Chains A and B, each alone.
Chain A
Amino acid sequence: MAYVRLTMMSGRLHGKTDISVFLPSKKRPAGMGGRGAVPKASYDKNEVYQVLWLIHGGGDDYTAWALDAMIQRACDAAQLIVIMPTILDLAGTRKDIDIMGFMTEELPEAMRFMFPISPRRQDNFIAGLSYGGYFSYRCAMTHPDMYACVGSFSSPLDVAEDVRRLHAGDPSFDSEKITGTDRDILYLTSKLKEEGREMPKSFQTVGTEDFTWDFNITARDHFMKLNMDHTFIQRPGTHNFEFWDAALKDFLEWLPLTRSTVRKERF
């Protein structure tokens, strides 16, 4: 496993942004143990990896999943490239930066250039914790052709309700301006269903003691009513990395992983 701290220039964000990347170790032949023991001359420019776009929570940055969580070995075993960007505007309230354009256009272009990442829908997964999970659903449900799977861990997926209850009076949040827009996950999913479009498979988990529990449940009920291909997992727990470490491992178990590289000629 290699850990990369990457600094790139973003046009959509009008400046430099930092990103963490996990690169999986090469699978070792049986008997070749040891940290960093790679077989000789074992790269192939036509092999690409499945990719997990993994988003931090509100007020955090690219270091959250890499340093606060303990997920590196699980990601390595999954043979995924994991991209952990810094998302400055998870709620989508800022006018000065184009966070959706960054996440769904600019970043994928740049990362597919720099790393051996599969561009195919079936190899692209997006997930996040807390508001990062909300943002992940927003990306996936506005770009259902880009991601095969989406996951949220302790996220206020019914964001209008979250804003009404927890952010009332905050001028940057206005629940009236969310309902029925592309910031409203319930609206986005209903619309995709109406249009009969293929939706990403969705995963949702939350701790029974978490303060976002209620807005998880209303969202879950909405997804069930739409008859989406949706997985909901509850477990005892609250809003912390102990929960998210376990949640990420559940999510990896649930994903359709190849656990190996994919040859480019096959697509």
Chain B
Amino acid sequence: MARLQIHTGLPDVTLDVMIPEYMKSLKAQEAGISEKEYYENRNLPVLWLLHGARGNAADWPRYSMVEVYAEEKGLIVVCPTGNNGWWVNQAAGIPWEDVVTEKLWELVHGTFPTSDMPEDNYIAGLSMGGYGAMRIGLRHPERYSRIAAFSAGFGIPRRYAAGGFNALSGEETFGDPDKVLGSQYDEFYTAEERAASGNPLPPIYLSCGTKDGLYDINVEYREHLKKLGYDVVWDEAPYAHEWRFWDQQVEKFIKTLP
């Protein structure tokens, strides 16, 4: 894969992009496909991959082997930086959801050899990025057709509403605690809203380590989705909140893609 580290020119937003390349595609070379023929297809699927809290665009490329898995699949990977903004349009901060679904959507699809059809765009993330991918994926059927969340930070808006979460930009992000539940920030509500929208429901990949403090809330979210009629693939393994687990998970998720 070619690796692109991008200063986008948009305030606060950097981007790490990985694009399959001929010299690393043994499959194409063994099949006798020439460089020119290989590069003729400028219509590749895209995996949007969101980082966790205290992370940035370089986390996925640094700590996982996603490059190897995506290379085998012929997939472009896009990793944005979203600071500690929970990937939502913050109550008093940056509109991260708009950044991802509009500004970066334009930059990525206007520049790189991608398909911009929803059936070729998938969104996934870990921890805070799992919450973000789930919420953004459910709210934008016109953009993404598959969603994955690993060790997702579900239940944070609920804790914030109850006064139990004040770390990591809670106030800047979610605003008035009395108005959070049942709002656009409440991922349980988002799943209900999508189920009631009449749009087809996307297949969902959910997973969490059994030693992770977020295990119970992820199980609860899985049951919530199932009750609403979503098709959920679940996976778990004896891990805590850690990269060894997320590396395995991103490989498994990529293998489920068409």
A residues adjacent to B (C-beta < 8 A) = 1-11, 23, 25-26, 35-36, 38, 40-45, 106, 109-110, 112-116
Are B39 and A112 within 8 A (Cβ)? yes
Interface residues of B in 13-48 (CB under 8 A from A): 19, 21-24, 35-36, 39, 42
Closest to A112 in B: B39
Are A40 and B102 within 8 A (Cβ)? yes
Q: Which 9 A-B pairs have the closest CB atoms?
A: A43-B110, A113-B39, A9-B23, A8-B2, A36-B10, A3-B7, A36-B9, A5-B5, A7-B3
Are A2 and B6 within 8 A (Cβ)? yes
Are A35 and B23 within 8 A (Cβ)? no
20 contacts between A and B (CB under 8 A): A2-B107, A4-B4, A5-B4, A7-B4, A8-B2, A11-B22, A11-B23, A35-B11, A36-B8, A38-B106, A42-B106, A45-B110, A110-B39, A113-B19, A113-B113, A114-B2, A114-B112, A114-B113, A115-B112, A116-B110
Chain B nearest CB: distance from A250 CB in Å?
26
Q: Which of A11, A43, A115, A116 contacts B106 (CB 8 A)?
A: A43
Interface residues of B in 176-207 (CB under 8 A from A): none
Instruction: Known contacts A7-B2, A8-B2, A116-B110; decide if A109 and B8 are in contact (CB<8 Å).
Output: no
Are A110 and B109 within 8 A (Cβ)? no
Are B106 and A9 within 8 A (Cβ)? no
Are B112 and A45 within 8 A (Cβ)? no
Could you say which of B6, B11, B110, B112 has the most chain A C-beta atoms within 10 Å of its C-beta? B110
Chain A proximity mask over B77-109: 1 for CB below 8 Å, otherwise 0: 000000000000000000000000011001101
Closest to A1 in B: B9
Are A109 and B36 within 8 A (Cβ)? yes
The reply to whether the CB of B111 lies closer than 8 angstroms to some CB of chain A is yes
The reply to whether the CB of B120 lies closer than 8 angstroms to some CB of chain A is no
| Distance in angstroms between the alpha carbons of A116 and B111 in the assembled complex | 6
Question: Which residues of chain A have C-beta atoms less than 8 A from B35's C-beta?
Answer: 106, 109
B residues adjacent to A (C-beta < 8 A) = 2-11, 19, 21-24, 35-36, 39, 42, 102-103, 106-107, 109-113, 116
| Distance in angstroms between the alpha carbons of A4 and B64 in the assembled complex | 22
Could you say which of B6, B24, B109, B111 has the most chain A C-beta atoms within 10 Å of its C-beta? B111
Instruction: Known contacts A9-B24, A43-B110, A116-B111; decide if A36 and B11 are in contact (CB<8 Å).
Output: yes
Question: Which residues of chain B have C-beta atoms less than 8 A from A36's C-beta?
Answer: 8-11
Q: Which of B9, B11, B24, B109 contacts A25 (CB 8 A)?
A: B9
| Distance in angstroms between the alpha carbons of A11 and B11 in the assembled complex | 37
| Distance in angstroms between the alpha carbons of A109 and B35 in the assembled complex | 8
Chain A nearest CB: distance from B79 CB in Å?
14
Q: Which of B2, B36, B106 contacts A41 (CB 8 A)?
A: B106
Are B107 and A8 within 8 A (Cβ)? no
| Distance in angstroms between the alpha carbons of A43 and B24 in the assembled complex | 29
Are A115 and B22 within 8 A (Cβ)? no
Question: Which residues of chain B have C-beta atoms less than 8 A from A115's C-beta?
Answer: 111-112
Are A9 and B2 within 8 A (Cβ)? yes
| Distance in angstroms between the alpha carbons of A3 and B107 in the assembled complex | 12
| Distance in angstroms between the alpha carbons of A251 and B106 in the assembled complex | 31
Question: Which residues of chain A have C-beta atoms less than 8 A from B7's C-beta?
Answer: 2-4
| Distance in angstroms between the alpha carbons of A47 and B256 in the assembled complex | 33
Q: Which of A2, A110, A112 contacts B21 (CB 8 A)?
A: A110
Closest to A49 in B: B111
Instruction: Known contacts A44-B110, A114-B19; decide if A4 and B2 are in contact (CB<8 Å).
Output: no
Are A113 and B8 within 8 A (Cβ)? no
Are B23 and A45 within 8 A (Cβ)? no
| Distance in angstroms between the alpha carbons of A106 and B24 in the assembled complex | 14
Chain B nearest CB: distance from A229 CB in Å?
31
| Distance in angstroms between the alpha carbons of A40 and B105 in the assembled complex | 10
| Distance in angstroms between the alpha carbons of A85 and B240 in the assembled complex | 43
| Distance in angstroms between the alpha carbons of A37 and B112 in the assembled complex | 20
Are B110 and A9 within 8 A (Cβ)? no
Instruction: Known contacts A6-B4, A9-B23, A9-B24; decide if A109 and B9 are in contact (CB<8 Å).
Output: no
Chain A nearest CB: distance from B38 CB in Å?
8
Could you say which of A10, A42, A44, A45 has the most chain B C-beta atoms within 10 Å of its C-beta? A45
Chain B nearest CB: distance from A206 CB in Å?
33
Question: Which residues of chain A have C-beta atoms less than 8 A from B36's C-beta?
Answer: 109
Chain A nearest CB: distance from B2 CB in Å?
4
Chain A nearest CB: distance from B99 CB in Å?
11
Instruction: Known contacts A23-B111, A40-B102; decide if A9 and B21 are in contact (CB<8 Å).
Output: yes
| Distance in angstroms between the alpha carbons of A115 and B3 in the assembled complex | 13
Are A35 and B9 within 8 A (Cβ)? yes
Question: Which residues of chain A have C-beta atoms less than 8 A from B113's C-beta?
Answer: 113-114
Are B9 and A2 within 8 A (Cβ)? yes
Q: Which of A1, A42, A45, A114 contacts B116 (CB 8 A)?
A: A45
| Distance in angstroms between the alpha carbons of A8 and B67 in the assembled complex | 13
